[in-house]
Chain A
């Protein structure tokens, strides 16, 4: 049962901070940057009230490193940032991926490249979120379109990072971060939380990187007498560097990817709007999904059979879902606030349908009219 008190009117950034506390995050390290600063500011106030740690670090490289350290010690940890800071997180994102330490990075996207449009929305970090750090690393990226989704997907991001022992990125944007909307905050005990699998083996038996069927190794906190080594080099199941062992390298990298694949169903989130009989499928994510939803309604009023597939999971790219939704349609429209990033992934999975972009990089939202116009133009 929901009681009135749980309905709040808040900003997307506020919802992220709120969700983090409820989902058990007790360590936040960050560095101020517009349009993400509110998350840090709210957690500066709230963390001490729940015996958590708020740390403002000297920069984003240090914040990301501290978050990983805290998570190694067994505390759920998060950081938030935007464009230039997201780039600085990348070094240690790769580190978190290979040492398999859960953590969440919130990137509230703004216009780039570089300091670009510091206060205006964009979706230019879609590929950086996937490939920003070097090497063949796995990553999970979720993207909210509303304040309510910002709340839910923050909880999911934290859960998935724990489940998969991998960094998860919440790819928000300046619109979702700053807009104020109604959001229903679930009670703490109704939230389904996932905690990393803690080993019950003795320190003598424990092998830090032996994984079960799902590919995720059991965890032993630093500081609990499990004297194992954590290294960013390619390592064997005992955790020791094995940089001359090609077989070990191959199996480690493949396992890092396989564990994400294993939980594909758990981590694939999307929504649909009037897709059953749609001839024109709009595929959108983040703030642009808001306009796309509006466009579908407008087009339907004019008798044009449009539908929306809103992707909440961007990476790993939900290829099968996209294929399924593209199967019955005539054309696919992908509006994005960049010059075409996710559209390339859609093209690979659109079953040879025409895929047309609607792109905007001037810091202004793509309007429902722009999307509707494009549908009518290609109809």
Chain B
């Protein structure tokens, strides 16, 4: 008898195996998200928005309402859905290019308005879908297709630290954290807290997930994890950045 792997209830089983490259971190982030949705029992209320980028490959991942938007625009589209139907649980799922470059104004302004949505951003240090160009998160000295001589921080600045940036803007009630696919349980807890924040209508919630892109990094399994756990976490600190103050203690 075939062994059926344990999959979150909210997943669409018939679309597995998924469409990401082997070893891609997106699948692990979505596994954590699936478990968080299951544990909160909100599958029927979730609207999942994905960006243009490899996140769009999640278009058939879940058995929930799904919408894919233009590159960078997932946050405002989900904002529209949430404002029109506040009982929906709106998730904007995007890459680091989508969230920190072309969509950065939307992230900043959603945080400013304290939109009651959950943004999840997959940080893989590059533009995966377009073949490995520099992203706002590309590490100093890292070579990509548009930083052929290595990322020069004098020219292009330092990698964006998203959760810290959002935490600085967001108002009381917002939740921001950075997880990693190297610790799926912890990531799931962050995602669950982010969604809980939306459920309790406290404010904006934002979780960045450190993730691997072996295809564009040209790394094997071992080198992928090494890059993720050594190079990335040195610059991008894993942990909660801003949590709402407890009302009663």
A59 touches B101 (CB 8 A): yes
Within 8 A of A (CB), among B69-103: 70-72, 101-102
17 example contacts (A-B, Cβ-Cβ < 8 A) are as follows: A31-B102, A33-B130, A34-B130, A37-B130, A37-B133, A41-B133, A41-B145, A41-B146, A44-B147, A45-B148, A54-B146, A58-B104, A58-B136, A59-B72, A84-B70, A114-B70, A115-B71
Is residue B131 within 8 Å, beta carbon to beta carbon, of the partner chain? yes
As a 0/1 sequence over residues 95 to 121 of chain A, the CB contacts with chain B under 8 angstroms (1 = contact) are 000000000000000000011000000
Is residue A40 within 8 Å, beta carbon to beta carbon, of the partner chain? yes
Is residue B134 within 8 Å, beta carbon to beta carbon, of the partner chain? yes
Contacts of B156 in A (CB 8 A): 56
Docked pose: A84 CA to B148 CA in angstroms: 25
Docked pose: A277 CA to B40 CA in angstroms: 76
Is residue A32 within 8 Å, beta carbon to beta carbon, of the partner chain? yes
Within 8 A of B (CB), among A10-57: 31-34, 37, 40-41, 44-45, 48, 54, 56
A44 touches B146 (CB 8 A): yes
As a 0/1 sequence over residues 201 to 232 of chain B, the CB contacts with chain A under 8 angstroms (1 = contact) are 00000000000000000000000000000000
Contacts of A60 in B (CB 8 A): 102
Q: Which of B70, B71, B134 contacts A56 (CB 8 A)?
A: B134
Contacts of B102 in A (CB 8 A): 31, 58-60
Q: Which of A37, A58, A84 contacts B131 (CB 8 A)?
A: A37
Is residue B236 within 8 Å, beta carbon to beta carbon, of the partner chain? no
Docked pose: A40 CA to B101 CA in angstroms: 17
| Nearest 4 A/B pairs, CB to CB | A59-B102, A58-B101, A32-B133, A32-B130
Nearest CB in chain A: distance from B45 CB, A: 27
Is residue B175 within 8 Å, beta carbon to beta carbon, of the partner chain? no
Docked pose: A37 CA to B126 CA in angstroms: 14
A45: nearest residue on chain B (CB-CB)?
A: B148
Is residue B52 within 8 Å, beta carbon to beta carbon, of the partner chain? yes
How many residues from A make CB contacts under 8 Å with B? Answer: 18
Nearest CB in chain A: distance from B151 CB, A: 10
Nearest CB in chain A: distance from B141 CB, A: 15
Contacts of A37 in B (CB 8 A): 130-131, 133, 145
B134: nearest residue on chain A (CB-CB)?
A: A56
Is residue B190 within 8 Å, beta carbon to beta carbon, of the partner chain? no
B136: nearest residue on chain A (CB-CB)?
A: A58
Docked pose: A60 CA to B71 CA in angstroms: 11
Within 8 A of A (CB), among B137-182: 145-149, 156
A41: nearest residue on chain B (CB-CB)?
A: B145
Q: Which of A32, A48, A115 contacts B149 (CB 8 A)?
A: A48
Contacts of B149 in A (CB 8 A): 48
Contacts of A114 in B (CB 8 A): 70
Is residue B127 within 8 Å, beta carbon to beta carbon, of the partner chain? yes
As a 0/1 sequence over residues 259 to 279 of chain A, the CB contacts with chain B under 8 angstroms (1 = contact) are 000000000000000000000
B97: nearest residue on chain A (CB-CB)?
A: A32
Chain A positions within 8 Å of B, measured between CB atoms, are 31-34, 37, 40-41, 44-45, 48, 54, 56, 58-60, 84, 114-115
Beyond A32-B131, A45-B148, A58-B101, list 17 extra A-B contacts (CB 8 Å). Answer: A31-B101, A31-B102, A32-B130, A32-B145, A37-B130, A37-B131, A37-B133, A41-B145, A41-B148, A48-B149, A56-B146, A56-B156, A60-B102, A84-B70, A84-B71, A115-B52, A115-B70
Docked pose: A346 CA to B102 CA in angstroms: 38
Contacts of B148 in A (CB 8 A): 41, 44-45
Docked pose: A114 CA to B156 CA in angstroms: 29
Nearest CB in chain B: distance from A30 CB, A: 8
Nearest CB in chain A: distance from B142 CB, A: 13
The winner among B134, B147, B148 for most chain A CB atoms within 10 A is: B148
Contacts of B145 in A (CB 8 A): 32, 37, 41, 44
Contacts of B147 in A (CB 8 A): 44
Nearest CB in chain B: distance from A278 CB, A: 43
Nearest CB in chain B: distance from A91 CB, A: 14
The winner among A34, A40, A54, A56 for most chain B CB atoms within 10 A is: A56
Contacts of A44 in B (CB 8 A): 145-148
B149: nearest residue on chain A (CB-CB)?
A: A48
Docked pose: A44 CA to B145 CA in angstroms: 8
Docked pose: A33 CA to B70 CA in angstroms: 13
Nearest CB in chain A: distance from B206 CB, A: 18
Contacts of A115 in B (CB 8 A): 52, 70-71
Nearest CB in chain B: distance from A112 CB, A: 12
Docked pose: A40 CA to B52 CA in angstroms: 19
Nearest CB in chain A: distance from B125 CB, A: 14
B146: nearest residue on chain A (CB-CB)?
A: A44
B133 touches A56 (CB 8 A): yes
Nearest CB in chain A: distance from B66 CB, A: 15
B138: nearest residue on chain A (CB-CB)?
A: A56
B133: nearest residue on chain A (CB-CB)?
A: A32
Within 8 A of A (CB), among B109-146: 127, 130-131, 133-134, 136, 145-146
A85: nearest residue on chain B (CB-CB)?
A: B71
Contacts of A32 in B (CB 8 A): 127, 130-131, 133, 145-146
B147: nearest residue on chain A (CB-CB)?
A: A44
B72: nearest residue on chain A (CB-CB)?
A: A59
A48: nearest residue on chain B (CB-CB)?
A: B149
Nearest CB in chain B: distance from A64 CB, A: 13
B101: nearest residue on chain A (CB-CB)?
A: A58
B70: nearest residue on chain A (CB-CB)?
A: A84
Nearest CB in chain A: distance from B103 CB, A: 8
Docked pose: A32 CA to B148 CA in angstroms: 14
Contacts of B127 in A (CB 8 A): 32
